[in-house]
Every structure is written in C-alpha cells, then in structure tokens.
Amino acid sequence: MWVSTLWFVAMLIHDSHSLYERVTEQVSVELSGFHICYSLLNGTHQTGCQSDQDGNIGIILYYEDIRLIQHFDEICVDDGSCNNFIVVIKFDHLNEKSVELLRKSPVVKGMIVIERYASRGKPLSEDAASPNEQWSAYLDDPQWNAKHAIHPHGLRFLNWNKPIFHVSNESDVKILLNSCYKKFNEDALTVRRIQPPYCYAKLTSFMLSAGDAETCTRRETLFGGFSQSSTHLCDPVQDENVIGLVPPMEINETGRADVFLLSSRMDGFSSFTTDSGGDVSILTSLIATLAVGEAIGQKMEKFGKAARENRRHLMFGFFNGESLGYIGSSRAVWDIQNTAFPASFKKEFRRNVRPINLTDISIIMELQQIYARNDRTYFIHTDWDSYTAKKDLVDSVVSTVRNSSGMVKVEYRNPSPDSRVPPASCHAFLKANSTIPCVVVSSFDSEFNYNAINSMSDRIEPRDRKELALQVTAIASSALYASLGFVYNVDNVEDLKTEYKINSSYVDKLVECFVFAENWHTCELFKELLENSRDYSTGEKRVYTGTGSGYINIVKTLVGMLLVQAIGTTKPTKNVTSADQCNSLNLQQNVYRYVWMFDGSRNASFCYQSSTYLTTARSPAFDIEGYDWSSLQYSTWVESVWQPPKLTLFLVSDDWPAAVCLAVIVLIASAVLVWRVSEDWFESGPVRNDAAL
C-alpha cells in the first residue's frame, strides 16, 4: 500500500505542471448569476466582447484606483513581467479614461462588471454621444448624448477583444469580493506585488464569428456548401414591427390617403444581451402610444366614421431594431417603396389591404423619453426642410400638443434652418422623402437630460411611480388630441376632449406592468395575455430586438396583443368559439388580423378582429442582391453565435510542491466527501472539488 502511495505521489511530482493545470480545472466553483457581453458585427467592423476558445484566465483584481492597473501595465511593458488579471469593476466606475485603459491594457484579460445603478449625475448610457449617427438624415447630426455617454463612441460599440461578464446575483458578488478577492488577493495586490496563493477567475464566452458582417455571412454560405447541415456563425438582428391602421384601407380604395403616423420604438440595448433596462429609453413612450390607441378604441365607431368622411387615417407604428440603425423603420420605408406595406398584394386573396405610399404619410409624430424628473418640462422638435414644406400642418399639430398637455409644460422654439429632430424613426422616412414633417415630443431640449439611455441602468425608481404615470398620461393626451385634430380635420379640438380621454387607470396598469414588474409574468395582465402564446416561461424584462433564432421578443408580443385589444373588436366574431376557428378567418384576406386572446375583464377568451399587422423588421441590406456592405444606407448589424458561457473561480498556488500537496489533499478528500457549492466554499481551508469546468 505504501509503495502504491509513493508511486502515485512520484507520478504527481513528475508532471507537476500538467497536474497544476488539471487541478485548477477540476477544483473550482462556477457562478451562474451573470449576463455576458457578446459580439456584434456590421458591414465594416466588429464590436463587443469575446474570450479565447478555452477561456481567459487571470487573478481577480478589484478596480478602485486607476493607478494600480497602470502600475502592472508598466511592469509588463518595461521588463516583460506580465501578470494576467480579471478586473472586477462597478458599472458607474466606467468612463472614457477607465474604459480606454482597461480595453488596451496588456495585463487585463477580462472584466466582471458588478452593480448597475448609480447617482443620477453620472454618465451611464452605453450608447454613443451621437446615437445612430451613421444612419442619420443629416450630415451634421448634433451630439445629443455627449453629456451622458460612458464613452463617446458608445460602450456597446467598442471592440474589446476580451470577455466581459455582468454579475447581478448578490450572493455571487459576495463570493467575488469577500471570499475571493479580499481573502486572498487584496493585501498582495494593493501593495503592488504578487504573492500566492491567489484567487483566479476564468471567463469563457467564445464567439464563432469574426471580422465583419459580410465576411461572416459569406463563411456561413461557404460552410453550408460543404455540409448538409447548416452552420450558424452569425444572425442578422431582426424581428417584427407592430403596425395598426385605423380605419384600414382596402385595395379598391383609390386616390391619395392622408395618414397621421404616431410612432414609437420597441427596442433598446445594453452591452449585455439579456440585461437591457429600457424604462425611459423605450417603455414609457410605448405606454403613452398604447394609451392613445385604447382611448380611440373606446370610440372606434365614431372615430371611423369621421376618418372615412375626411379620408384620413391614423397609423400606429411600433418599430423594432431602431436603436441599431433604424432597422424596423428603414425596412418599413423599403417595403413602402416596394408596395408591400403593411402587407403585399396577394392575387389569390378575396380581400387585400391597400399598400400605402410615402406620399400618403402626411406627418409623423414620435414620443420619446417620457420622464422629466426635475420640472415636468417637455420640448417639441421639428425638421426645418419638412416644416417649410408643410408649415400650416405642423403649426396646427404643435399648437394642439401644447394646449392639450395637462399637468406638464411643453415648450417649442420657432423652427430655423438649424432645426433638427433628435434620433428617431422618422430619420428613415426623411432620408426617403425630406418633405414628410416630423414632430418629436421629448423630455429634453438640445441634449438628452436622462443619463442612462440604452443602458442596463435605465430603470425608474418605484418611488416615482405616481409622477411617471401622471407625465405619461399628460403626453399621451397631447398625442391623442393632435391625432384627433388631424383625422377630424379641425384646429380646435376642445369639443373632442369631451368625447375622447386618456384612461388614467389603463396607464397606471401598464406603468405597473411594463416598468415596475421585475418579471413580466408577475403582472396579472401580461400573464393573461401570454397564457395562450408560445412558451414565454422566462418572463424576463428585456427590450433587445434579438435575431429570431430562438430568442423570444416579449416586448413585441405584448405590444401586438395590447394594440389588438385597444383598437380591435369582438363584435363581428361573437359566434367564433375556438382558436382554430378564429385563425381560419385569416385565410384568403389580409385586411384584418384575427387573434384568439384572453380578456381578463370578461374572464374568457375571444376572437378579436383588428386592422393590425406584423411586418418584417429586418434590414433591407440582407435582402438586396449585391448590396454594398460598406455603405451606410441601411443597418448591417449581425449578432455572433456563441458557445455556452462559463464563469469559474479557483485558487492557485505559485509553487509546484504546494500544488502537489493541494492535489493529494483534494484527491483523498474527494473520495469520501461531497460538499455543497456555496458562499463559504472559500472559507473551508483547502480548495474543494465542487465543480468541474
């Protein structure tokens, strides 16, 4: 027995370095409460984060002082003594200086971001100083977000070429900071020397694509030619737009139609795919626009009669992919130019919706960033060229907005040749037709006031619930009466205010569900809507567009259902008693959409008829043969496919005798003990065999 033991130990010593690698890979603990930063590619370059295929390893270093990183960088450059670090950093410690240091540092092999909220004064936006500048309708787009961008080029749009994880689980954060860094690394690293043992992290988030979107899609095609199975390397960022048109237009209606387009974006982003916040960037304006639909739906027969008499229409446009180059709105414009919006003509159908033309769109209004935290002041933005083309119409809409905003103040500067609209869906329309007026109502004037646009920190505090609902109701009212004035073809809407009103209870319900429900399945209204849908078991609050490859866009689904309920009706389908019977009504026609849906107020499911449409939100660049990928006409963003990510912690001793002893202890202990992975994993003396990589 002793001979066998001595032989075993001798074998361990003989190959100590390979043993060291095996032990560190077997004696470890894996954390699970994280989100990863992933790679996006467009027609010219790659952005985002990725690890080596086998992961990136480094000593855990908590970022408190930029000089500590600079110290280890200098040692690495001066004498070639390069230690590898995984830096743990609070989100609000990211700024242009720290980001550039961490991104270019030769010793920083990865990062773990913790926390997500900070004081209101700190820049927390992961978007660029000039969002969507490449796809702007202007050559000299102002830097609307310069004051609040973490990095002027956008934190999300930097090429890190190293992995970054966001750890949101509080117990995992305690393990990182208390049980790992403070127990083993802090004393040695803060005096700027390396002394074992120390706590390591391994970040694995390997991306399958590289280069740019054109290269990735070409490789997919090439690999597909050699194999019968498809090889996914990247997928276009895409989903669907939700469109409502009241009243609908049928193919036999001739002549120009006057359309008031009330638009809102449905998406936002963070550097971390499933952790995108979105309260002010997206959700508040969604709620206001849906509230307009609900108010009109309550008087749909009266509204429809006036609209037909005046040959005017109200279109609701909820566009997807807007934060990444106006994907949804630019596709809508492309479809319009190809007579395929909101649906293509089908000669086999007995009823067809009439595709609209760009000249049918009389004016576009968009609501943005509804949350004036300080003084309830909002601002109207217009575009000079389109204003001069239709001055009377714009003046009438602006006047109605200002006189119908209730408890909030709406300011408006007289347009001048320098007048620009901020980043908005109407940029896609202005690029196609510069005479379409665009009116944007927002909580900012010449620059964003909110400090967390397109950020995982974009969350509104629960204490602001009542104030938020008040402001959403007020801005929704201004949009309601502006659209009614257009459809009724009147400048004075005072009489209409007695007939149509924003339902404050409806706004309260949507605010509670969209903004303050951490998991959208915990909201009773959304739970009812999703009950008969596909599997939305995650219910996670997220506003990223996705790629359609296994990603379920819950925002799009909820908005689509809420709009159907708002402007739809069950009167024509009162004899329909099943989902199959309801769905069959969608055959041979595309004027209406029939949806089987649960109605909580009646505690039963019904077949809704509505003139709502789900249209493609996919950049035309992917459907135009021979498209020039380097042009900026359309967005070309694709998302890399990645291997399953891992975040692993383990202890390392610097000398091989310690490694051998550690190995012997672990091998003997593991034969008789099974320990639970928990926060006190690091507190039990020797490292335990809790989880293998």
Residues 360, 259: contact at Cβ < 8 Å?
A: yes
Query: What are the beta bridge partners of residue 478?
Result: none
CA distance 290 to 269: 22
Residues 496-503: what's their mean pLDDT? 97
Q: How confident is the model at residue 504 (pLDDT cuts 50, 70, 90)?
A: very high
Lowest-confidence region among 173-182, 316-325, 533-542: 533-542
Give the model's pLDDT for residue 218: 87
Q: Are residues 250 and 358 in the same domain?
A: yes
Judged against a pLDDT cut of 90, whether residue 36 lies above it is answered with: yes
* pTM greater than 0.85 (yes/no): yes
CA distance 294 to 283: 16
Judged against a pLDDT cut of 80, whether residue 657 lies above it is answered with: no
Does residue 38 lie in a domain region? yes
Q: Running DSSP on this structure, what letter comes out for residue 676?
A: -
Does residue 575 lie in a domain region? no
Query: Among 550, 570, 590, which residue terminates a domain?
Result: 570
Give the model's pLDDT for residue 377: 97
DSSP per residue, 336-357: HHTT-SS----TT-SB-BPPP-
Judged against a pLDDT cut of 70, whether residue 343 lies above it is answered with: yes
Residues 392, 285: contact at Cβ < 8 Å?
A: no
Q: Are residues 170 and 207 in the same domain?
A: yes
Q: Are residues 292 and 170 in the same domain?
A: no
**Mean pLDDT for all residues in the chain:** 88
340 class by beta-carbon count within 10 Å (0-12 exposed, 13-18 middle, 19+ buried): middle
Q: Are residues 523 and 472 in the same domain?
A: yes
Grouping H, G, I as helix, E, B as strand and the rest as coil, residue 380 is strand
Rg (CA), the chain: 28
Q: Are residues 555 and 438 in the same domain?
A: yes
CA distance 492 to 474: 18
Query: Among 515, 540, 570, which residue terminates a domain?
Result: 570
With CA atoms as reference, report the closest residue to 424 among 316, 321, 326, 557. Answer: 326
Judged against a pLDDT cut of 70, whether residue 675 lies above it is answered with: no
Give the model's pLDDT for residue 654: 57
Q: Which residue has the higher pLDDT, 12 or 292?
A: 292
Q: Are residues 187 and 282 in the same domain?
A: no
Does residue 591 lie in a domain region? no
Query: Among 521, 549, 570, which residue terminates a domain?
Result: 570
Give the model's pLDDT for residue 121: 75
Give the model's pLDDT for residue 136: 97
Judged against a pLDDT cut of 60, whether residue 660 lies above it is answered with: no
CA distance 661 to 654: 12
Residues 161-184: what's their mean pLDDT? 94
Does residue 687 lie in a domain region? no
CA distance 653 to 404: 70
CA distance 390 to 363: 9
Give the model's pLDDT for residue 539: 65
Read off the tokens for 419.
């007048």
CA distance 81 to 45: 32
Give the model's pLDDT for residue 234: 93
Residues 411, 381: contact at Cβ < 8 Å?
A: no
DSSP per residue, 310-338: HTEEEEEEEESSGGGTSHHHHHHHHHHHT
Residues 169-192: what's their mean pLDDT? 88
Q: Are residues 196 and 330 in the same domain?
A: no
Give the model's pLDDT for residue 35: 93
613 class by beta-carbon count within 10 Å (0-12 exposed, 13-18 middle, 19+ buried): buried
CA distance 221 to 215: 10
Residue type at 693 in one-letter notation: L
Residue reference for tokens 């009646």: 602
Lowest-confidence region among 15-19, 484-488, 511-515: 15-19
With CA atoms as reference, report the closest residue to 582 among 610, 616, 614, 554. Answer: 610
Q: Are residues 208 and 251 in the same domain?
A: no
Residues 641, 233: contact at Cβ < 8 Å?
A: yes
Residues 305-316: what's their mean pLDDT? 97
Q: Are residues 209 and 250 in the same domain?
A: no
DSSP per residue, 198-219: EEEEEEE--BS--S-HHHHHHH
Q: For residue 192, what are the domain limits?
A: 24-214+644-652
Rounded to the nearest angstrom, the gap between the alpha carbon of residue 105 and the centroid of all alpha carbons in its chain is: 29
Read off the tokens for 135.
């796809």
> Where are the alpha helices (H) located in 34-79, listed in sequence order?
66-79
CA distance 140 to 47: 24
Query: What are the beta bridge partners of residue 235?
Result: 639
Q: Running DSSP on this structure, what letter comes out for residue 429?
A: H
Give the model's pLDDT for residue 118: 61
Q: Are residues 387 and 263 in the same domain?
A: yes
State percent of the chain over pLDDT 70: 86
Does residue 597 lie in a domain region? no
Q: Are residues 42 and 119 in the same domain?
A: yes
Three-state SS annotation for 134-158: HHCCCCCCCCCCCCCECCCCCHHHC
Residues 144-155: what's their mean pLDDT? 98
Residues 259, 316: contact at Cβ < 8 Å?
A: no
CA distance 388 to 411: 20
Q: Give the containing element (helix H, strand E) for 503.
A: none
Q: How confident is the model at residue 398 (pLDDT cuts 50, 70, 90)?
A: very high
Does residue 330 lie in a domain region? yes
Judged against a pLDDT cut of 50, whether residue 76 lies above it is answered with: yes
Grouping H, G, I as helix, E, B as strand and the rest as coil, residue 392 is helix
Judged against a pLDDT cut of 70, whether residue 524 lies above it is answered with: yes
Judged against a pLDDT cut of 50, whether residue 592 lies above it is answered with: yes
User: Which CATH number do you get for residue 552?
Assistant: 3.40.630
Q: Running DSSP on this structure, what letter comes out for residue 605?
A: E
Q: Are residues 207 and 245 in the same domain?
A: no
The string of pLDDT tens digits covering residues 412-436 is 999 999 999 999 999 999 999 999 9
Does residue 623 lie in a domain region? no
Domain count, the chain: 2
Tell me how far CA of residue 484 lies from CA of 8, 63, 386, 493, in angstroms. Answer: 85, 55, 21, 8
Does residue 206 lie in a domain region? yes
Judged against a pLDDT cut of 70, whether residue 546 lies above it is answered with: yes
Residues 270, 126: contact at Cβ < 8 Å?
A: yes
Lowest-confidence region among 61-70, 122-131, 184-193: 184-193
- Do you know the residue count of the chain? 693
Residue reference for tokens 């000089």: 67
Q: How confident is the model at residue 678 (pLDDT cuts 50, 70, 90)?
A: very low
Residue reference for tokens 């199975």: 229
